[in-house]
């Protein structure tokens, strides 16, 4: 009976271990059940490109996705882009960014027992190993090493908790109100989440860092651990395969499912595509390709700055004389507005003629008027969606009339009347 009880305990412990392994130690690397031939997917690109119905979005498996323009952060296409989702190893985008901004990349790190024992996708570090911060970053982003993530977090902040605080501080400065970090690696935690849109905004910011962009854009690299070389291959299946792709990060846990963030540039169009919650690696790859191809096939850049300025000049010619400046030394009003921080945005090709500019203004103003005073708004809309809005403000000071101004006006009016009498 005692032997039977021990036997059952062993079996129970075995199944618990298997369950925990499949849940906690999820990673970015392909399992034998989740492999595919990417050439088969690439062979379907032609059919995606030649789709005749521009309003028909591709069928997507991922629970949430977004494609944004890198220049303006404009959303091209999206679904559930503002829903909070687990992000898996795409977390490491923020991890790498915080590390790059907080320490000397040439520093040497000695790996702790905690870092060496971290599960999931691993760089393969052991307790006492010595490696530079720079090489750890390659192991973090190319191999998606959770052990590298913990080692970097400990080196920068002393602990995972303190490093997570740095991650959340950075998220706050970037305006990511629906993003929160608990770990540097992204293994499932209830309070560790982001949205597809905010992950795209974070990625766009990170890609402006030259060191970060170089690392995530590298397909193969050799690092050094304890003086010995170790070759790495990027886990990003689209890098070096799909035209224009130059980064950035894969992700997978059982809670997050398959995730992928992709930067792609062709010609003057530069986009970021985020897919979260795909059922399989093949789906996340297919979804990303479909969204990227749809964006490049069906969007074109429109000079919105030119549209705003042209309409503003026409409006001024037709309406500026209707603005009355009461008790002002001058009735001439020099007005302007703040131009958008970008000249052009990508717009779906069938909508390029549906831009409208709306201007609202105060027709009666009281002097004195100080330079910078707001007198109205100018708004650019695409159909019913607001693309850009700015205050219209006065560009010069207009003083209130004093007694001498009134006297001068009286004398001038009297002189005009007297001259007319003489002419009669």
Q: Given 62, 121, 144, 288, which residue is catalytic?
A: 144
Yes or no: say if 65 and 313 are a contact pair by the CB < 8 Å rule. Answer: no
Domain boundaries, the chain: 28-298, 303-403
Element (H, E) at 391: strand 385-394
Q: Is 89 a catalytic residue?
A: yes
State residue 331's pLDDT score: 72
State residue 89's pLDDT score: 97
CA–CA gap between residue 144 and residue 28 (Å, rounded): 7
Phi and psi at residue 263, to the nearest 5°: -100, 135
State residue 409's pLDDT score: 57
CA–CA gap between residue 174 and residue 192 (Å, rounded): 17
CATH for 303-403 (2.60.410.10, 3.40.50.10800, 3.30.310.50, 3.40.50.1820): 2.60.410.10
Q: Given 72, 89, 203, 344, which residue is catalytic?
A: 89
State residue 97's pLDDT score: 98
Walk along the chain (424 residues) and give the pLDDT tens digit of each residue: 444 455 555 555 444 444 444 334 445 655 545 677 777 777 766 666 556 788 889 999 999 999 999 999 999 999 999 999 999 999 999 999 999 999 999 999 999 999 999 998 999 999 999 999 999 999 999 999 999 999 999 999 999 999 999 999 999 999 999 999 999 999 999 999 999 999 999 999 999 999 999 999 999 999 999 999 999 999 999 999 999 999 999 999 999 999 999 999 999 999 999 999 999 999 999 999 999 999 999 999 999 999 999 999 999 999 988 888 876 667 778 899 999 999 999 999 999 999 999 999 998 888 788 899 999 999 999 999 999 999 999 998 777 655 554 455 555 665 566 566 666 6
State residue 20's pLDDT score: 40
Give the CATH architecture of domain 28-298.
Answer: 3-Layer(aba) Sandwich (3.40)
3-state secondary structure of 230: strand
pLDDT digits (tens, 9 = 90+) for 35-62: 777 777 777 666 665 567 888 899 999 9
Q: 244, exposed or middle or buried, with CB in 10 Å at 0-12, 13-18, 19+?
A: middle
Q: Given 62, 85, 86, 92, which residue is catalytic?
A: 92
Judge whether 28-298 and 303-403 match in fold: no
CA–CA gap between residue 202 and residue 176 (Å, rounded): 8
Q: Is 47 a catalytic residue?
A: no
Which residue in the block uniquely carries the two structure tokens 């795209």? 200
pLDDT digits (tens, 9 = 90+) for 260-274: 999 999 999 999 999
Residue 101: closest CA among 125, 137, 135, 131: 137
pTM confidence score: 0.85
């Amino acid at each position: 009976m005692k032997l039977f009880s021990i036997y059952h305990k062993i079996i129970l412990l075995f199944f618990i271990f298997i369950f925990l392994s499949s849940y906690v130690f999820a990673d970015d690397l392909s399992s034998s059940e989740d492999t595919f031939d990417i050439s088969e997917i690439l062979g379907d690109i032609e059919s995606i490109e030649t789709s005749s119905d521009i309003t028909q979005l591709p069928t997507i498996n991922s629970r949430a996705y977004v494609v944004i323009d890198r220049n303006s952060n404009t959303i091209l296409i999206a679904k559930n882009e503002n829903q909070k989702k687990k992000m898996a190893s795409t977390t490491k985008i923020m991890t790498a960014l915080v590390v790059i901004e907080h320490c000397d990349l040439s520093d040497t790190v000695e790996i702790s027992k905690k870092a060496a024992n971290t599960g999931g996708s691993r760089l393969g570090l052991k307790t006492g190993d010595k490696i530079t911060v720079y090489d750890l970053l390659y192991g973090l982003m190319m191999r998606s090493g959770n052990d590298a993530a913990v080692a970097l977090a400990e080196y920068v902040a002393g602990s995972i908790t303190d490093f997570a605080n740095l991650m959340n501080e950075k998220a706050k400065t970037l305006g990511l109100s629906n993003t929160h970090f608990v770990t540097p690696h992204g293994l499932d935690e209830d309070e560790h989440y982001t949205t597809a849109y905010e992950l795209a905004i974070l990625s766009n910011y990170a890609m402006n860092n030259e060191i970060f962009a170089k690392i995530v854009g590298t397909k193969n690299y050799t690092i050094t651990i304890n003086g010995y070389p170790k070759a790495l291959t990027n886990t990003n299946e689209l890098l070096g395969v799909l035209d224009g792709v130059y980064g950035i990060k894969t992700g997978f846990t059982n809670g997050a499912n398959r995730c992928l963030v992709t930067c792609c540039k062709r010609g003057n169009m530069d986009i970021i595509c985020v897919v979260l919650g795909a059922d399989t690696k093949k789906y996340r790859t297919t979804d990303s390709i479909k969204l990227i191809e749809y964006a490049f096939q069906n969007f074109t850049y429109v000079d919105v700055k030119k549209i705003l300025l042209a309409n503003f000049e026409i409006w001024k010619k037709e309406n500026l004389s209707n603005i009355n400046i009461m008790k002002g030394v001058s009735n001439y009003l020099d007005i302007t507005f703040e131009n958008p921080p970008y000249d052009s945005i990508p717009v779906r090709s069938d909508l390029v003629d549906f831009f409208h500019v709306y201007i609202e203004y105060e027709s009666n103003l009281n002097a004195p008027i100080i330079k910078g005073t707001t007198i109205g708004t100018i708004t650019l809309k695409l159909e019913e969606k607001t693309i850009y809005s700015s205050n219209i403000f006065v560009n010069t000071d207009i003083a209130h009339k004093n007694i001498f101004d009134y006297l001068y006006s009286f004398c001038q009016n009297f002189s005009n009347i007297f001259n007319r009498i003489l002419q009669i």
